[in-house]
Structure 1
Amino acid sequence: MQDIVRRLDTCRVCGRDDWLEVTSFGSVPLANGFLDPADLPAEEPVYPVDVIVCRGCRLMAIRHVIRPDVLFRHYVYVTSESDQMTSHMRRIASWCTRRARLAPGELVVELGSNVGLQLKLFQEQGQRVVGVDPAENLAEVANARGVRTLPEFFGADQGRRIAAELGEAKLVLGRQCFAHIDDVHNVLDGATAVLAPDGLVAIEVPYLLDLLEENQFDTIYHEHLSYYSVTTLGHLFQRHGLRIVHVERAAVHGGSIVVFAARTESEHETGPAVGRLLSLERQSGLGSDEVYLEFGERAHQVIKEVGDLVRELAARGLTVAGYGAPSKGTTLLQFCELGPAELRFCSDTTSLKHGRLLPGTRIPCCSPEQARDQEPDYYLLLAWNYADEIIGKEREFLRRGGKFIIPIPQPRVVTAEPVPAVA
């Protein structure tokens, strides 16, 4: 285990070693470590999920870092093509095109580009594109779709190599991957190596303020090393000759921010959204210890409430299944210690997960088509960030008497007729 996991002693952003110990969620298997029923290990390796906050730059992080090739070389998360996510990716393309003043023929580099859906939108606008993603299986899909993708981890070497081959990039984009990165300084060295003098770096991350206020503890797992605020990202970018010039908030993944940074000496003006969010973070107490400690207490209370509710339903002979099997869902089930005795199956649209067992809990995962043949009384909505879209799509299930349990920020039951939150 020692060669796979290391302890984070100094802050990856500012280098300080003064940590607030927030809470521990125990030791669990990797959130995306789906199991083949034909080749089950006697025991799955488990790793701690301990939450800490740097008292210098206020980075929130998990204490134990898993070697990245263990997490990402064969990755089962595929960018969603739901209506919500497709619309969001189009907004990202629009924001970036306007802010970076992108013209046809200019270069866009995306790190953590997955199967290339975001880059495809820039390609359709006439930009040249290249993606960098360490998941070899996903890079293969992207390349087959005509989106050039390097199956590598992005860093200074890759940035210099792309610049030498393709020229400078007007936009360097990282969507929902920055939280996965341990050596953020090497990545930003790569970004600045390829960035044009008037170019922009655009980083999308889950927003720490939303995570804390909406009690999104199930988004804390081994792949997510860091949890960022605008304050913390400002400290980080400054160390690389960059300054934040604009921030957009978005509803995806429970609440995210897209942070645009330019070279310090560039002519890009700093917009008012930056100051507004920095002020909001101060007013919300992100500079104090109390807000993080209170979050830890609320998280453990909801873990107990969700677990108790599902166990009570199962004890009454009612059937419960999981709707979706995202990383946050496998994490929630492990924290709640729910297994096949409580959840008969989980249904997910990702074909890579079908026929496999969820990590830790060993609940079987099936396709939505298979789930319709064994419809439960209740669905525990593990993909709660798509709740509105899913519930709208499943109106017939509700009309037949089915119910949804939405676990976050606190458990509530959704029926054809609304019912109050669980006390």
Structure 2
Amino acid sequence: MKKINFLNLGKHPITNNFLSTANPKNEFFYNLKLSYHTETKLISLNNFVPPKKMFNNRYAHRASASMTMRKAYADLAKKIKKKFNPRSILEIGSNDGVFIKHFSDIQNIGVEPCKNLADLTTKMKIKTYDKFWTFLLSKKINKKHGKFDVIYSANTISHIHKLDETFKAIENSLNEEGIFILEDPSLLKSLQKLSYDQFYDEHAYVFSITALRNITKKSGLEIFNIEELNTHGGSNRVYFKKKTNKKFKISNNVKRHLSTEKKYGIHKFRTYQIFAKNVNKSKESLIKIFQSIKKKKKKIIGYGATYKSSTVLNFCKINKNYINYFVDTTPTKSGKFTPGSHIPIKAYKGISDDVDYAFLGAWNFKDEIYKKEKKFIKRGGKFITHVPYPRIL
């Protein structure tokens, strides 16, 4: 399969490698380049980072840290129970159990390669395999637990390098009338919002519906429905079934999404050349905003030391000369430093009165943040964002 590079975002660290010192030795960096696959129209990193460097016992992200995400997963669990009434469910990438815990009344199995997270769900009495999802693991789970009515995965399949094996393993673990639900950031929304920060080490791929249809043809799975979500700046919830499964009809949503993507030019390399040009312009504009604020001797902090923000900080060379520190609600990040840019991270206790501007590292939770920071806004505090273009809010 031929790949063509279209954007070079420079050297980047491991996004979840929050540092214990501002002056680390031998910090790992890789070249973050994006590629277009001519056959499948898939967009990926040109070179993948070894999974064990990213997913290990020090993994920092907790899906339950966000009120928005806690509610989203609780609502989805209710919806799945009502619509599909499953007797068994498997989650690939179960994180801290924020979703799978809602299925304690049926057989619920987690797969989570980060042992520190798998230990959390094990304590909840959820059988969790601290392994990477593979065909061999699917066979092992099938043998012990049988096949599943529902397999769910949010923001995980895009992390797995071997997609053909991944989808074949999912098909292998589904009951004949079972369904697979995938949630991941939408490539179309990323292009429309110029959110180049969706690309980082963990996101080996950012999926379009066009590419998902193309790459799952070999696996025996097919898309039968799609829902658009606001989470993570714009995501798709994609429903798959076995091709032999006649229980579920293919929704008109599938044709509509494919048509929308075609009109936008998802299948054309030229679309990504334009995207790359606009990303470089965005970088220049964001740097100018930071430089202008610092000339006025104003204080800037970062709000949300997210994985996405790592891409922006390292691509735009924004470091502690511009941002004094980040605040973040995740306890495991507190007292650490951001990867690559080495900006201190403090436990969130509100925004202090001496702060003039806050860079939205967690821009996709803007509505939630605005509700929390009414005092900061009322006294004249302002936020900085780069999506869909750099500006002061």
TM-score (norm 1): 0.89
- Tell me how far apart the structure 2 counterparts of residues 307 and 94 of structure 1 sit (CA, whole Å): 44
Residue in structure 1 matched with residue 18 of structure 2 by the alignment: 34
Deviation at residue 396 of structure 1 after TM alignment: 0.5
- Tell me how far apart the structure 2 counterparts of residues 112 and 351 of structure 1 sit (CA, whole Å): 20
- Tell me how far apart the structure 2 counterparts of residues 94 and 391 of structure 1 sit (CA, whole Å): 28
RMSD between superposed Cα atoms in Å: 1.5
- The correspondence for 2:61, drawn from 70, 77, 100, is 77
- Tell me how far apart the structure 2 counterparts of residues 42 and 191 of structure 1 sit (CA, whole Å): 40
- Tell me how far apart the structure 1 counterparts of residues 210 and 352 of structure 2 sit (CA, whole Å): 49
Residue in structure 1 matched with residue 383 of structure 2 by the alignment: 404
Deviation at residue 337 of structure 1 after TM alignment: 0.6
> Would you say the 8 A contact 1:178–1:203 is kept in 2?
yes
Does residue 24 (structure 1) correspond to residue 24 (structure 2)? The answer is: no
- Tell me how far apart the structure 2 counterparts of residues 263 and 356 of structure 1 sit (CA, whole Å): 45
Residue in structure 1 matched with residue 89 of structure 2 by the alignment: 108
Which moves more between the two structures, 353-362 or 232-241? 232-241
> Would you say the 8 A contact 1:155–1:188 is kept in 2?
no
Deviation at residue 374 of structure 1 after TM alignment: 6.4
Deviation at residue 327 of structure 1 after TM alignment: 0.4
> Would you say the 8 A contact 2:228–2:234 is kept in 1?
yes
Deviation at residue 335 of structure 1 after TM alignment: 1.1
> Would you say the 8 A contact 2:12–2:31 is kept in 1?
yes
Q: Residue by residue, what CA displacement relative to the aligned partner does 1:92-111 show, whole Å, maximum 9, x if unpaired?
A: 32443355x224xx110000
Residue in structure 2 matched with residue 7 of structure 1 by the alignment: none
Deviation at residue 186 of structure 1 after TM alignment: 2.1
- Tell me how far apart the structure 2 counterparts of residues 353 and 366 of structure 1 sit (CA, whole Å): 8
Does residue 141 (structure 1) correspond to residue 124 (structure 2)? The answer is: no
- The correspondence for 2:320, drawn from 332, 337, 340, is 340
Does residue 331 (structure 1) correspond to residue 311 (structure 2)? The answer is: yes
Deviation at residue 315 of structure 1 after TM alignment: 2.2
Q: Residue by residue, what CA displacement relative to the aligned partner does 1:255-301 show, whole Å, maximum 9, x if unpaired?
A: 11111111101112111111110111111111112211111111111
- Tell me how far apart the structure 2 counterparts of residues 280 and 91 of structure 1 sit (CA, whole Å): 27
- The correspondence for 1:184, drawn from 143, 146, 163, is 163
**Equivalences for 1:242-281 in 2 at 5 Å?**
242-267=221-246, 268-281=248-261
> Would you say the 8 A contact 1:354–1:365 is kept in 2?
yes
Q: Residue by residue, what CA displacement relative to the aligned partner does 1:167-194 show, whole Å, maximum 9, x if unpaired?
A: 1100111111111110122222321222
Q: In the superposition, relative to structure 1, how do residues 158 and 139 fare at CA in structure 2: closer, same or farther (>3 Å)?
A: same
- The correspondence for 1:89, drawn from 73, 79, 88, is 73
List 4+ stretches of structure 1 deviating above 6 A.
none
**Structure 2 unaligned spans of 5+:** none
Does residue 213 (structure 1) correspond to residue 196 (structure 2)? The answer is: no
Does residue 55 (structure 1) correspond to residue 38 (structure 2)? The answer is: yes
Residue in structure 2 matched with residue 67 of structure 1 by the alignment: 50
Residue in structure 2 matched with residue 118 of structure 1 by the alignment: 99
Residue in structure 1 matched with residue 373 of structure 2 by the alignment: 394
AA at the equivalent of 1:366 = K
Which moves more between the two structures, 58-67 or 187-196? 187-196
- Tell me how far apart the structure 1 counterparts of residues 290 and 365 of structure 2 sit (CA, whole Å): 21
- Tell me how far apart the structure 2 counterparts of residues 109 and 251 of structure 1 sit (CA, whole Å): 24
Residue in structure 2 matched with residue 129 of structure 1 by the alignment: 108
Residue in structure 1 matched with residue 180 of structure 2 by the alignment: 201
**Equivalences for 1:260-339 in 2 at 5 Å?**
260-267=239-246, 268-339=248-319
AA at the equivalent of 2:163 = V
- Tell me how far apart the structure 1 counterparts of residues 176 and 70 of structure 2 sit (CA, whole Å): 31
Deviation at residue 43 of structure 1 after TM alignment: 4.2
Deviation at residue 81 of structure 1 after TM alignment: 4.0
- Tell me how far apart the structure 2 counterparts of residues 335 and 95 of structure 1 sit (CA, whole Å): 40
Q: In the superposition, relative to structure 1, how do residues 412 and 254 fare at CA in structure 2: closer, same or farther (>3 Å)?
A: same
AA at the equivalent of 1:144 = K
- RCO greater where, 1 or 2, for CA within 8 Å and sep 6 or more? 2
Deviation at residue 203 of structure 1 after TM alignment: 0.9
- Tell me how far apart the structure 2 counterparts of residues 97 and 259 of structure 1 sit (CA, whole Å): 17
> Would you say the 8 A contact 2:40–2:214 is kept in 1?
yes
AA at the equivalent of 1:330 = S
- Tell me how far apart the structure 1 counterparts of residues 266 and 380 of structure 2 sit (CA, whole Å): 43
AA at the equivalent of 2:34 = V
Deviation at residue 373 of structure 1 after TM alignment: 4.5
Q: Residue by residue, what CA displacement relative to the aligned partner does 1:65-118 show, whole Å, maximum 9, x if unpaired?
A: 11101110131111044332123213432443355x224xx1100001101110
AA at the equivalent of 1:360 = G
**Structure 1 unaligned spans of 5+:** 1-15, 415-423
Q: In the superposition, relative to structure 1, how do residues 80 and 413 fare at CA in structure 2: closer, same or farther (>3 Å)?
A: farther
* Identical residues among aligned pairs (%): 27
